[in-house]
Every structure is written in structure tokens, then in C-alpha cells.
Amino acid sequence: MATDAVTATVATLRQREARRASAGLWRDALWRLRRDPTTLIALTVIGVMVILALAAPLLGDGFFHKTERDQDILSNYTKPTFAQAWLWLGTDELGRSQIVRLLFGARVSLFIGSFGALTALVIGLGMGVTAGYFRGRWDDIVVWLVTTLNSVPLLYLLLIIGVLFRLEPLPFAVLLGGLGWLGIANYARGQTISLREREYVLAGRTVGCTPVRLMVRHIVPNILPLMIVLGMIEVGQLILTESAISFIGFGIQPPTPSWGNMLTNASQYLGKAPYLIYPPGVAVFVTVLCLYLIGDGLRDALDPRLRGAK
């Protein structure tokens, strides 16, 4: 009896395994993701946040009837109340609606995070793969650059740049990406060094593939899953860095709201309006947390061998 049940279970498992074995990497990853509630929840939260951020101007006009810069000095320091939609999170010292500013802040944070991470990914992948593939002098230069930049505390460096230039979101994102590629480059380089000795790369070389083709078609696709995971985590880290720099006043400048500079404001009215401090911080925390969870989930989904590693 029991043996029958076991045989049946094993048979179903085999069947399932066989069905999955024929699926490609991405189909397989999707299959795993669909069975991972934590990652699904995190994906949903980020998805909702992106939609809200994109729709912020529409919501501001049509639903809250306020823009992020509208001041209503008569209703300043209003405590959060459900009386009117624009007062859900209260108002600051100028009577600006915090909920609307929070939505517009999401635009800045998500844009800088994603665009910066993209920049970091492109630079890191380019530097790491070429360094690992060509080795020699170029490798020395890249390694030297990574080590040097790694020994400068990032926030101090950004402080200097913030003093000299006024940072708009796009240059700021590029700058953060331009300083945040070190970890990605290290990973890409290490992986490339081991992959370039594999038989299939050797096979490619024997049939006369150019180095570019070997890197783009044979090496990069193999490290791309890992890079996507690192990219997700990078988005989260850049959002944290952006909020920190904006908080000390050298990032996104008012009146453009960002979660960081909303907290600068809130920190000046801790006694009078303590409710201002919670929403932007929670927003950063939840966003970054979800991005990390997605990164973790993607790693498990894309490469089961890495499960539990790190």
C-alpha cells in the first residue's frame, strides 16, 4: 500500500521534473517565481509604487486637487486626517500636502534608483567582462580603479560634488551609477575569468569568433542572471544613498520633493510636527526592502545552485 503511494508520488514528481527540464532558463525562473509568495508580494508592492509614481501628476490634479508645490499657509501643520484626501498625511510648515509630495518623491527616488542602477550595470558589466576577458594591462587598470574608488567613503565624495554642482535628477542618477559599479564589476570580472576557460568559449575561439562576439554571445548571457540580481539590489542601495545625500542637503534640491529632502524638512520640526517624519522614511524602507526581497527571490529563481548562498 505504502509502496504504491510512494511510487505514485515519485512518478508525478518525475513527470513534473521532466516538464520543467524542457523549459528554458527564463520559463523555469518564472515557474519558480510563481511559487514564491514573498517575492510575489514584493513585486506587487513595487509595481503599485511605480504605477502611483507615474500617475502622480494625474492623481495630484484629479484626486488630491493639489500639486507638489501648492502652498496653503493657513492650513500648515495640519495633523494627518481622513477629512480630505490631500490631508491624509498632514501638511508641512508651508501647508504643502504630504501625500502628494510623497508621491512625487517616489518619482525621483525610483527614477534615480533604476536609472543609476542601469548606468552602474552597463559600466560594471563592460569594465568587468573586458577586464576578465583580456586580462593584462587593462585588467590592472580596472582593478586599480575599483580598489582606489573603494577606499574613498562614497558619501564624502558625493559631498564634494554636491558642493560644486547643483544636482538635477538625471545627472545625479548617472553620477551615482558612475560610482556604484564597483561591486558589479568585481563580480563580472571574476565570473568572466572562470568562464573564458570553458570549453564552449574555447570552441568559439577555434572557429574564429571575434573577442566581441565571444564576450557578447557566450560570456555575458551566462552572467546576466547574476547581474540582474545585483542590479535589483543596486537599485535599493542607490535609493538609500540618494535619500541620505538629499537629506543632508546636497542632493535633490527643494522645491522638487524627494524622500530625502522631505526628511530634512521634517527633522527641523520634530517637536511641532512629529508626524512628518514617518511617511518618507517608511516609503524608503518599504521600497528598499521589497527590492532586496525581489533580488533574493530572483537569485533563487534564476540559479538554484546559489540558493542560500551569499
Partner 1 sequence: MLGGQYDITPEDRIALRESLGLNDPLPVQFAKWVWNVAHLDFGNSFYYQRPVMSLILERVPNSLQISLAALIVTIAVGIPLGILAALRRGTLADHGIRVFSVGGHAIPQFWLGLMFVLTFGVQARWFPIGSMNAVGIDCGLCWDRLWHLMGPVAVISIAGIANLPRLLRTEVLEVISQDYVRTARSKGLKEQAIIAGHVLRNALIPVVTSFGTILLVFFSGSLIIERVFNWPGLGRLTFEAAVNKDYPLVQAGVVISSVLLIVSYILRDVAYAWVDPRIKVR
Question: Could you tell me the smallest distance in angstroms from the CB atom of residue 276 to partner 1?
Answer: 10
The Cα–Cα gap between 263 and 34 comes to 37
Convert residues 285-304 into a mask of x (bound to partner 1 by CB under 8 A) and - (unbound).
Answer: x--xx--xx--x--------
Q: Give the nearer residue to partner 1 in terms of CB position, either 145 or 224.
A: 145
303 burial class (0-12, 13-18, 19+ CB within 10 angstroms)? middle
x-marked contacts with partner 1 along 127-146 as a string, rule CB under 8 A:
--------------------
Of the candidate spans 22-30, 132-140, 160-168, 222-230, the one that interacts with partner 1 by CB under 8 A turns out to be: 160-168
Q: For partner 1, which is the closer residue by CB, 33 or 248?
A: 248
306 binds partner 1 (CB under 8 A): no
**DSSP output for 81-120:** -SSSGGGTT-B-TT--BHHHHHHHHHHHHHHHHHHHHHHH
Length of the chain: 310
Binding of residue 165 to partner 1 (CB under 8 A):
no
In the chain, the DSSP E strands lie at: none
Residue list 74-93, contact with partner 1 (CB under 8 A): none
Residue 97 lies near partner 1 (rule: CB under 8 A):
no
**Contact call for residues 236 and 291 (beta carbons, < 8 A):** yes
CA dihedral for 183, 186, 189, 191, sign (positive or negative): negative
Residues making contact with partner 1 (CB under 8 A): 150-157, 159-160, 162-163, 236, 240, 243-244, 247-250, 263, 266-267, 270-271, 274, 277, 280-281, 284-285, 288-289, 292-293, 296, 310
